[in-house]
Amino acid sequence: AELMYIQQDGEDVPAHDTQEAVPARISFWKCLAFRQTWAFAAGKFMTDGVWWFFLFWTPAYLSSVYNLPSNNSTAQLLIFVLYAITLLSIIGGWLPTYFVDRKGMEPYSGRMRAMLIFAFFPLLTMFAQPLGKISYWIPVIIIGIAGAAHQAWSANLYSTIGDMFPKSTIATITGIGTTAGMVSSYVINRFSGVLFDHAANTQMTFLGFT
């Protein structure tokens, strides 16, 4: 139903029919009644916090594990490389197009397949710390790749709004999802800081260490 509404929104109509053809605006509260809104918001809530966690805590990780404070030139180079790698997220726009144009897939199916592929890359971060014993470059590169994959996934998630809602509501739905992502980011980073301080103060005895 939403897709048909979108298609109607984009139809060319004679000037004298413009008033009748303008789609009815959907209020903020009405947007909250759609399950598609909550699906998008859940996607942002579950993923944005992890993205900001890596951006916020990677400098502290380099400082505590490798003794590379933020004012160290090597640490600055590592962070620069990490952010540079995240620019690979532009593939997020290319891959779905490749599936549609070259493989003949439906736009929705092509986007979902691309998002599935991108969703696997952040799992590499599970190996960042153990492989970090070899070189500090390895976790930085892994985190950068995971960040790029997240941004590619997120870009495609944003594009699903236009598949589900009329143009007049895109900004509202985007704002709702972004708010959910920011709440998640605050909760995760706040809790991480509290947990870090608690672990330092208790020598991690609450986890069974003696």
* Residue 6: per-residue pLDDT: 45
Q: What are 109-117's contacts with CB under 8 Å, separation 24+?
A: 111/156, 111/159, 111/160, 114/152, 114/156, 115/153, 115/156, 115/157
Domain total of the chain:
1
Q: Is the pLDDT of residue 13 over 60?
A: no
Rounded to an integer, what distance in angstroms lies between the CA atom of residue 42 and that of residue 177? Answer: 8
Amino acid at 151: Q
For the segment 16-29, what is each residue's pLDDT rounded down to a tens digit?
544 545 566 788 99
Asked whether residue 144 is assigned to any structural domain, the reply reads: yes
Distance of CA 122 to the CA centre of its chain: 11
- What average pLDDT does the structure give for the chain? 86
C-beta of residue 155 within 8 angstroms of C-beta of residue 34: no
pLDDT for 107-132, tens place per residue? Answer: 888 989 999 999 999 999 999 999 99
The domain of 143 spans 28-193
Structure confidence at residue 91 as a pLDDT band (50, 70, 90): confident
For 35-84, what is each residue's pLDDT tens digit?
999 999 999 999 998 888 888 889 999 999 999 999 999 999 999 999 99
Which three-class secondary structure state does DSSP give residue 86? helix
Q: Give residues with Cβ within 8 angstroms of 71, minimum separation 6.
A: none
Asked if residue 200 belongs to a domain, the reply is no
Residue 51 forms part of a structural domain:
yes
- Look up residue 23 and give its amino acid: P
Q: What pLDDT is recorded for position 181? A: 94
**Is residue 7 included in any domain, yes or no?**
no
Residue that wins the pLDDT comparison between 10 and 102: 102
Residue 189: pLDDT band (50, 70, 90) is confident
Flag whether 16 is in a domain.
no
- Give the integer Cα–Cα distance in Å for 129 and 124: 10
- 3-state helix, strand, coil split of the chain in percent (to 5) is 80, 0, 20
**pTM greater than the 0.75 cutoff:** yes
Residue % of the chain over a pLDDT of 90: 59
Q: Is residue 19 part of a domain?
A: no
Task: Give the CATH number of the domain where residue 107 resides.
Answer: 1.20.1250.20
Distance from C-alpha of 34 to C-alpha of 202, rounded to nearest angstrom: 46
Q: Does residue 46 lie within any of the structural domains?
A: yes
Establish if 38 belongs to a structural domain: yes
